[in-house]
Structure 1
């Protein structure tokens, strides 16, 4: 059983998956930092610092007027946190756009690094159906 486990771990698919997960985690940190530390502050400047995170509706419970979403949750109130959802959607769209641009750039670099494939030489074309029928006709005439 231990030998089977060693064989399983040593297979390329498992190792490739492990490397992919590790690189993915590191890449997630980079993209999160790019969005949170560079892009969101620029968007905040352009939009005047609009942040929907603290927009919510109280469904049940008592919350002081103007309390933050975190304070409302700590007070035990049941809240409909639509602002946090809107911000999560906006952040998702920004992250998806950044990942798209990164993948597009990597693909462009990869395409530039690979030499263009030379077209395969065309195979000589055989006779057409009409030419074959004409040959058969002529052969039949010659035998007759």
Structure 2
């Protein structure tokens, strides 16, 4: 069982996952700051100075903070949209690289005979131009 775990951990999937989680966490903080510090204050200003994070209902002794929920939903959609755009850009880049590789592989190779015929043709053209 230990050997299987080592193979799994070393295979790269776990390392890729760990890197993805760390970068995703940092990316989430950036987007959360964008939402909390830039977008939501502007949206609140447009809607008449409403601060979404402080919107709440009092139900008896309980306080329902629906403004924080609205802010979290906006945060989620911005993170999801940002990740979608990032993945879309990566996929487009991958497609371009794949097409370039296919183009390189499908480039016609010139045989020795074709190369000699091309050289002869070019020599005949030069001789004709000189005369």
TM range (shorter): 0.5 to 0.7
Q: Which has the higher contact order (CA 8 A, sep 6+)?
A: 1
* Preserved CA contact (<8 Å) 2:44 2:52: no
- 1:56 corresponds to which residue? 56
Summarize the alignment of residues 1-144 of structure 1 with structure 2, pairs less than 5 Å apart. 5-61=5-61, 78-115=62-99, 117=102
| Structure showing the higher helix proportion among its residues | 2
Quickly say closer, same or farther: Cα 1:95–1:10, change in 2 above 3 A.
closer
After superposing on structure 2, the runs of 4+ consecutive aligned residues of structure 1 that deviate more than 6 Å are none
Structure 1 unaligned blocks of 5 or more: 62-77, 121-144
* Alignment size in residue pairs: 103
Structure 2 unaligned blocks of 5 or more: 107-131
Larger Rg: 1
Q: TM-score, normalised by structure 1?
A: 0.50
Q: Deviations over 1:48-76 (max 9, x none)?
A: 44222222222223xxxxxxxxxxxxxxx
Give me the whole-angstrom Cα distance separating, in 1, the residues matched to 2:34 and 2:90.
17
Give me the whole-angstrom Cα distance separating, in 1, the residues matched to 2:27 and 2:36.
14
Quickly say closer, same or farther: Cα 1:93–1:9, change in 2 above 3 A.
closer
- 1:72 corresponds to which residue? none
Q: TM-score, normalised by structure 2?
A: 0.53
